[in-house]
Amino acid sequence: MSFWKRANSPVADKPPAASTKGPLAAIENLAAPGSCGPSSGAPSASSKAASEASSGVGIEALGRSESVQKLLSRMERLPSVPALYTQVLSELARPQASIQFVGRLISKDPAMTARILQMVNSAAFALPVPIAEPMEAVLHLGVERTKSLLLLAGLTLQFDSSVCPGFSHEALWCHSLVVSGSARQLALLQTKDANFAEMAYTAGLLHDVGKLMLAANLSETYGQIIDQAARRHIEVSQVEREIFDATHAELAACLLTAWGLPASILDAIAWHHSPARSRDTGFSILTAVHVANAVEREKLLHKAGLLTNQMDFPYLDSLGLTGQRNSWREACGFPVFVVDDPKKERVGLRQAVRG
């Protein structure tokens, strides 16, 4: 099953029109909040309320955005759910399902096996001993994280990193693994809810898949966007906004509506760069992914000697969570102190001196 499929037009060199067919149909099929599919588990009451307050509404608004529709219409190659992921879901739905059989299913796909093992043996997991077998990987990861990794692996396997100048296939999934792990850790720290944390993990893994889509469909333009962001020391999403009036995050959330992911995960993907656009009233999956991604950005800026706060202060302030920022950074492996005054904070962060 090919991951990339042509959209709308049967003519190879004719891009699909910006209409209500093809990728936009997924947006129109979106109904009330929570209609994107069943969640993988019930989060804690406060976190669930926060997620449900925003779920679906923002994604529907994206479907009506002229700039997002225009960008969607330029996507000639669209993602479909990886076949192995579908097979694993079917197996897990059986009463006699076994994690051993899931491992055997993965082992029948050499390319997927290699990518899963590459991911699980990466620095993001910091394993004391390398894992060499799919069965062992599934036992270590657990069912939910295995499913999430199958989605990301299925996406990345079908993308040729040489197509887009400056775009690194490996760097994207390495970043996604780190963000997903941090988002999961933050969710556990804040809610003590394992199911909620696994949803945060999935959202963290998929938060940047829109970059894959842009690199595959608009390789020359996106290569220039990556280059400009690097030269200006700003987020790629900022240049995307300048060029497209839309971002990889919004694009991915719209296209992934057809995958049956929970609306709270789609919200986290859509708004991880601009969480204030959500309707969150408390800590949510979006909060976890936004903070995890922001901390990774701060780490890169610190190495370049350009460290500044990357968390959305007004958003966190509206949730009453600004006091958690230092403990969150420490949980993500980046112990820094932040000045509470947002004006001073924009000047820079001073690294904590720890004995």
End-to-end CA distance of the chain: 54
Residue type, 54: S
User: Helix, strand or coil for residue 316?
Assistant: helix
In the structure encoding, which two tokens stand for residue 297, read together? 């950005």
Res 259: pLDDT: 84
Q: What is the pLDDT of residue 10?
A: 30
pTM for the full model? 0.80
- The sign of the torsion formed by the CA atoms of 21, 26, 31, 33 equals negative
3-state helix, strand, coil in the chain (%, to 5): 60, 5, 35
Distance CA 28, CA 189 (A): 36
pLDDT of residue 334: 94
| Secondary structure class of 251 (helix, strand, coil) | helix
CATH of 37-78+168-350, one of 1.10.3470, 1.10.3210, 1.10.287, 3.30.70: 1.10.3210
pLDDT of residue 81: 86
> Strands 77-79 and 4-6: what pairing?
antiparallel
Question: Token pair for residue 76?
Answer: 């000639």
CB 118 within 8 A of CB 171: no
How far is Cα 182 from Cα 336, in angstroms, rounded to an integer? 16
The pLDDT of residue 9: 32
Question: Sign of dihedral through CA atoms 78, 83, 84, 85?
Answer: positive
Res 44: pLDDT: 42
* pLDDT < 50 regions, the chain: 1-57, 346-348, 350-355
- β-strand 336-337 against 77-79: which pairing, if any? unpaired
